[in-house]
Structure 1
Amino acid sequence: MGAAEPRSLISWPFPVASRRPFPDKGTACCDGLVDAFFSLKTLAAAFLAYYISLRIGLARPYWSVITCYIVAQPLAGALLSKGLFRLIGTVVGAGMAIVLVPNLVNTPELLTLALALWLGACTYVAALDRTPRSYISLLAGYSAVIVGFPSVDTPGAIFIVALSRVQEIGIGIVCVSLVHALLFPRPVWRQVRERLDLILADAEAWSLDALAMPVEPDAVLRQDRRRLANDLHDLHLLSVHLPYDMASTVIEPASLRSVEMQLGRLLPLAGAVEDRIEALRQRDAYTSPLTDLVEDVRDWIVREAPGDGHPLIERARALEPALKAPEDWVQLVRLSLLDRLADLIETHATARRLRNRLVRGASSEGSDASIRPGDTGRRVLHRDHRMALRAASATTLTVLAGCAFWIVTAWPDGATAVVSSAIICALFSHLDAPLGVARRVFYGTIGAAIAAGFCAFVLMPRATDFVTLCLVLSPFLFLLGWLLARPDRAPYGIGAVLAFPGLAGLNADYGGMFGTFANQAIAQVLGSLAACLMLGAVRATDAKGTAQRLARAGWRELVRKTEMRSEPDTPAWISRTLDRMVLLSPHLPDLVEGMSEERNRLRDLRIGMALDDLQRAGANIGERQARYIDLLKSRLRDCFVSAQWIGVLKADPALQRTLNQTLANANLLPPTPGKRSLLLALVGLSRNLSPSD
């Protein structure tokens, strides 16, 4: 099953990938050089951290080396933020181990349960967050396991052990941050600007294809909207690292948040315009003034013409029906088309102005682009509590099962196996089908164990000083950095990084005892295998199940919208729905009706926006019309509740009659701005609930 890579927990933002389906040889060569340089910088940081740890007498300096590779990022701001998140999480986790181990060490069952539940709770929080900040919760969870379980035999020394781990990890963070900051750093703000330009191009391509005459094939539209939704998600993940960038003042955060929301609005707006054009065509009502206006809008988008598009907006407003008398259905659809088209023009113009405003001091016309207060807040992502609970349960059960085996067998290296399996489960249990990724980690662990054995017993005995040792280790550590440089190779690298430094004997003193090495290597491999078995036993969610889960989450939120009496938060609704589309995207090739699922999520997005418009319009109408709206909301609520049960959103006859009656009564109101807003909301609901009308 095609599960998404663990983007938010172990991966990082990368240079923008080529839009070409197959990169040419020059691009591949350039990417290879970038990966090699990244690996060399990380290698230098690892040796520096190892040297400092040895000089100050830390017992297990290999944790500094592991930290350098885990924290290393191609972008400077991402590296600093991940290092800070890791340090905070490590301190919290070490503190929890200090609290639990001395108090529960005499009751192994309670200690095991406490640490397992703590790791499960931290995994739950991290799975809900789904941003790079989730690294704090993740590290707080498995740092307690790393410090706690190996200390059960010496609970009196746990404070020293915890302090040593924090020192080793802190040294690794400082060294890797320093090296990557000094050697040709790559600032996040530049990547944000490059990604934003690509997103603007994708947004304009989506609008152009949606307004095309004749309409572009659905496959083209589907590719455009999927790319736009994914690009917006990537931009949001990049922006989390922006405050930690060495030149963070280059980007104005308020403008960045606002342009994100403007670009998010383009998906439902362009889809609504496309729908209204098709509805008018079916009734032979797509007349010459409308076609000329749409063609001029497409030409304005293609030319990226200066100005704010006001002439085109004024033309759209001038073509709207006057609403002085009740209008027929065709005129109401025409009104909806022109209103959405005007909003589309304004949104494109605002996005362009905000993009020019992003760099302070840049000369740009329209630098006074308005920023809506609701657009500047933090982007809200979808939270899947069921998936997070499953991830937490799998991780907790893995620790409990591993500790039970450790206690029963009294295996001296059982703690190593438990720690290894706990880390892997915490990293990957949030995926819909985690077994495939965990299996690659397992293969990386086996490869690292073999390489570490060769290094520890063939090469390292010949190393007589630190320089020679570095030369011996360089090929292996360079390979680790190369594996971690790309998301498709990262799982192998994670398994190798967690195993190689410790097994190779990068301690304060060289041991050279094969029995100790063999026990630790077997523990690492068995721990990885146990994680694979547990994650495989947890029933993976197939593509259809994922699509249904995401759809039901949207319908639950629509139910809440029908019950809402306060001011609706439309930006939050758009953000969460687009995030669900991003989560659905990797599973679409495995769905028989993938195109329908994607269109349905976009339809749900427009329904939610229409409900918000209905809520706002309801505050400016009479009592009689308010009763009709309350009845309509009740019918809509029943429709969305029914959809959660049967898995399909269908408008029943009672809802259709109520919607038609509400629309007919609104059509009889005197011409006011409130009437116009109400009609637009009702037409939007009607077109999305029964597009055949």
Structure 2
Amino acid sequence: MIYPSLRDWLFSVKTFAAAMIALYIGLALQLPRPYWAMATVYIVSNPFVGATRSKAIYRALGTALGASAAVLLVPPFVESPYLFSVVLALWVGTLLFLAISDRTARSYVFLLASYTLPIIALPAVTNPAGVFDLAVSRTEEITLGIVCASIVGSVVFPSRLAPTIIERTDAWFRDAAFYSTETLSGRIAGAAISGARQRLAATINGLELLLSQLAYDHTRPDLLTRAHELRGRMQLLLPLMSALADPLIALYNAGSYKWPEGLEALLADIVKWFNAPLPAASAGHHADPAANALRERIAAMQPPPEALTTWDGALLSSALWRMKQVIDVWEDCRSLRIIITREEGLWRPRFRHWRLGGTERFFDRGMMLFSTGSTAAAVILACSLWIASGWADGASAVTLAAVACCFFAALDEPAPMVFRFFVATAISVLAAGVYLFAVLPHVHDFPMLVILFAAPFILVGTLIPRPQFNMVTVLVAVNTATFISIQDAYDANFLTFLNSNLAGLAGLLYAYLWTRVTRPFGAELAAARLLRSSWSDVALTASTRPIEDPRNHAARMLDRLMQLIPRLAATDDHRHPSIESFRDLRIAFNSLDLRRLTRKLGGEAPAAIEQVLDGVRGYYESCANRHAREPVPASLMSSIDSAVARVTAQGLTDAGTHDATAQTSARHLRDALHALIGLRLSLFPATLQAATPPAQEASA
């Protein structure tokens, strides 16, 4: 068992102090529900100042939006309860859809607004004339908690978010160094490397939210920009290293091929450089000399144009070309990491590509609509059961059911988390009952109340910073504070307490059963949909249909892959879906490159490349239509080898001149050769051990 650290204790004490300050001010101002101010402190508090500030601002905006909707919607629809249920469900579903469409901290505005409406509106249906006062008072109470949490978190031993982001990136560097070491040694499968691949993707995904909170941490705009650049380069390393793996494995397995002198030493030095610590001096102003030396060795090892007509020569050229890209990206990552850590230095990107610059993210709109529609339907059914039963405390059941469904709508399988919500709430009910009927009758002043609250709330607060306990402990703290319902005078009724809290538990149990029935699919369905969407996009890249923005198309595909990898379990299978998905991405990227290059090439090469792209499009359209990965037709291998032969023959003709135009054409042809080799290796990985020189196949 790992005991709470000093930082955990400090956070818990600060949060408890802010909660007590908020409660005291709420009681002094005679707010109707001062306990909401105390609960809000626990909701918005975070060990880091930037996260607390961003959550506080967005909670204030979300509360104001939900409260305004309650004031506008309750009076006109209160006399039509079933119609009001539909209106309520439409609001919840719409705002929830907006929330899960935004993966930054800003999504909290829409999430909070989605369930703030039922929290305010449902208790007001019996007294619609008081909905405005209820909305105003709730806004005041929550704002009070937000202000107290923000001030205490910012003034008392503030903890910055930037060091945590650096810790996360350092962990990524360690995993990336291991992953790169294994890849450069010719190993792409195994439980360890699959686990590293999943951790790398999970770290990249988690940084998106953290970086959106970093702007509230007094971080300089230029450093914030560099942090986003670093995440982008981190995202690129995985597919680039994967693209390097296949030609390296083919070279390792080509027993008849004699490796060029120095290749093994080059790979060993690259591995050593990947595992080397960051330099003591800032590298932000100057290039890394080790990286420059590696690039020079790669350039010296490039095979001559006539060697590209052989399979081994084409493989070596492709491997060296992709090796240089990996070195460029790794140097960019190291330089950006140094600049961010030392808050100084200039950065000039080493890795440049026409596909860079896209900002679009991938969202599975179908699953999002199903998730939000399921939540809206749950609200309508819960309201209907409440109306039909005439249960006086049924509003609490509907409210907590809506909150639980909204909280976990973005998860692939929300039912287990809803059940944890139910368990945490049951614990809170018991704790609140003990306090309300056994402890508080003996409390006669506020200092005594603080003393009696201190031990349990501070102990629970030490677990909030830990991800595995965060949700449960926050819910216990928030719900206990809410269920006790502290007022300026003691007025507790056991039956009222029991009825209202049993209603809340009933609502959570209903939410659990609802999500279990309507969303039993888990990550398997989400992964299958991501795969089919990926296949459709690969087909699009190889087709003649226009792509509005190829850079955004590439960015969307890369983002989807980062979402897919954590959903796939670690395995030691060489045909594991994550490895196959990397190959799909490489095929798409190579197809995009070929589409762009065919417009710049002359001779017979463009027609041969178009035939290859048509075969790729047909294959992936078939996979997407049949919802299953199918065997690649052997005719596609022949088309690729024929195109390689045309490109190499044309490249040899142009390479013999000194004309600038001819040299540019030769460079484009070499790029096309690398893309074609990448397609062949990705589409037919099983042939890596027994490849026949494509030029010889064509001549035969």
TM-score, with structure 1 as normaliser: 0.89
Equivalent position of 2:569 in the other structure: 588
Equivalent position of 2:193 in the other structure: 221
2:614 counterpart of 1:634: yes
570-579 or 408-417, larger mean C-alpha shift: 570-579
Give the 3-state SS of the residue equivalent to 2:309 in structure 1: coil
Contact residue 270 and residue 344 of structure 1 kept, 8 A: yes
Identify if the C-alpha distance between structure 1 residues 391 and 376 changes in structure 2 by more than 3 Å, giving closer, same or farther: same
2:17 counterpart of 1:44: yes
Identify if the C-alpha distance between structure 1 residues 38 and 326 changes in structure 2 by more than 3 Å, giving closer, same or farther: closer
CA distance in 2, matches of 1:568, 1:332: 31
Encode CA deviations 1:124-146: one digit per residue, 9 max, x unaligned. 22233333322111111001111
Contact residue 449 and residue 500 of structure 1 kept, 8 A: yes
State the AA in 1 paired with 2:54: S
Equivalent position of 1:275 in the other structure: 246
2:92 counterpart of 1:92: no
2:369 counterpart of 1:396: no
2:638 counterpart of 1:657: yes
Q: CA deviation at 1:489?
A: 2.0
CA distance in 2, matches of 1:560, 1:209: 33
Q: CA deviation at 1:622?
A: 2.6
State the AA in 2 paired with 1:513: N
Equivalent position of 2:289 in the other structure: 307
Contact residue 326 and residue 668 of structure 1 kept, 8 A: no
CA distance in 2, matches of 1:401, 1:594: 47
Give the 3-state SS of the residue equivalent to 1:358 in structure 2: helix
Q: CA deviation at 1:637?
A: 1.9
Q: CA deviation at 1:570?
A: 5.0
State the AA in 2 paired with 1:386: G
2:528 counterpart of 1:548: yes
State the AA in 2 paired with 1:673: R
Equivalent position of 1:682 in the other structure: 676
Choose from 141, 148, 163 the match for 1:168.
141
Q: CA deviation at 1:153?
A: 1.9
Identify if the C-alpha distance between structure 1 residues 146 and 93 changes in structure 2 by more than 3 Å, giving closer, same or farther: same
Identify if the C-alpha distance between structure 1 residues 545 and 656 changes in structure 2 by more than 3 Å, giving closer, same or farther: same
Encode CA deviations 1:220-239: one digit per residue, 9 max, x unaligned. 32233222222222222211
Q: CA deviation at 1:360?
A: 6.4
Equivalent position of 2:667 in the other structure: 673
CA distance in 2, matches of 1:134, 1:584: 23
Identify if the C-alpha distance between structure 1 residues 576 and 500 changes in structure 2 by more than 3 Å, giving closer, same or farther: farther
480-489 or 405-414, larger mean C-alpha shift: 480-489
Contact residue 570 and residue 609 of structure 1 kept, 8 A: no
114-123 or 666-675, larger mean C-alpha shift: 666-675
Give the RMSD, CA atoms, in angstroms. Answer: 2.7
Equivalent position of 2:235 in the other structure: 264
Superposed counterparts of 1:113-262, under 5 Å: 113-212=86-185, 215=187, 218-245=190-217, 247-249=218-220, 252-262=223-233
Equivalent position of 2:300 in the other structure: 318
2:505 counterpart of 1:525: yes
Contact residue 189 and residue 250 of structure 1 kept, 8 A: no
307-316 or 596-605, larger mean C-alpha shift: 307-316
CA distance in 1, matches of 2:540, 2:594: 14
Give the 3-state SS of the residue equivalent to 2:413 in structure 1: coil
Equivalent position of 2:697 in the other structure: none
Choose from 34, 48, 52 the match for 2:7.
34
Contact residue 258 and residue 376 of structure 1 kept, 8 A: no
Identify if the C-alpha distance between structure 1 residues 280 and 326 changes in structure 2 by more than 3 Å, giving closer, same or farther: closer
CA distance in 1, matches of 2:176, 2:249: 21
Q: CA deviation at 1:196?
A: 2.3
Equivalent position of 1:102 in the other structure: 75
Stretches of structure 1 that go unaligned for 5 or more consecutive residues are 1-24
| Count of aligned residue pairs for this structure pair | 661
State the AA in 2 paired with 1:185: P
Encode CA deviations 1:348-383: one digit per residue, 9 max, x unaligned. 222222222225653x6x755569698997865431
CA distance in 2, matches of 1:56, 1:412: 30
Identify if the C-alpha distance between structure 1 residues 454 and 375 changes in structure 2 by more than 3 Å, giving closer, same or farther: farther
**Identical aligned pairs, as a percentage?**
30
Choose from 266, 272, 291 the match for 1:293.
266
Identify if the C-alpha distance between structure 1 residues 181 and 405 changes in structure 2 by more than 3 Å, giving closer, same or farther: same
Choose from 298, 319, 331 the match for 2:313.
331
Identify if the C-alpha distance between structure 1 residues 101 and 543 changes in structure 2 by more than 3 Å, giving closer, same or farther: closer
Q: CA deviation at 1:117?
A: 1.4
CA distance in 2, matches of 1:96, 1:487: 33
CA distance in 2, matches of 1:36, 1:429: 32
Contact residue 64 and residue 171 of structure 1 kept, 8 A: yes
Contact residue 577 and residue 601 of structure 1 kept, 8 A: no
Q: CA deviation at 1:58?
A: 1.5
Identify if the C-alpha distance between structure 1 residues 144 and 228 changes in structure 2 by more than 3 Å, giving closer, same or farther: same
Identify if the C-alpha distance between structure 1 residues 93 and 498 changes in structure 2 by more than 3 Å, giving closer, same or farther: same
Q: CA deviation at 1:612?
A: 2.6
Choose from 306, 318, 323 the match for 1:341.
323
CA distance in 2, matches of 1:188, 1:96: 34
Choose from 473, 482, 485 the match for 2:465.
485
CA distance in 2, matches of 1:240, 1:286: 51
State the AA in 1 paired with 2:254: R
Identify if the C-alpha distance between structure 1 residues 518 and 299 changes in structure 2 by more than 3 Å, giving closer, same or farther: closer
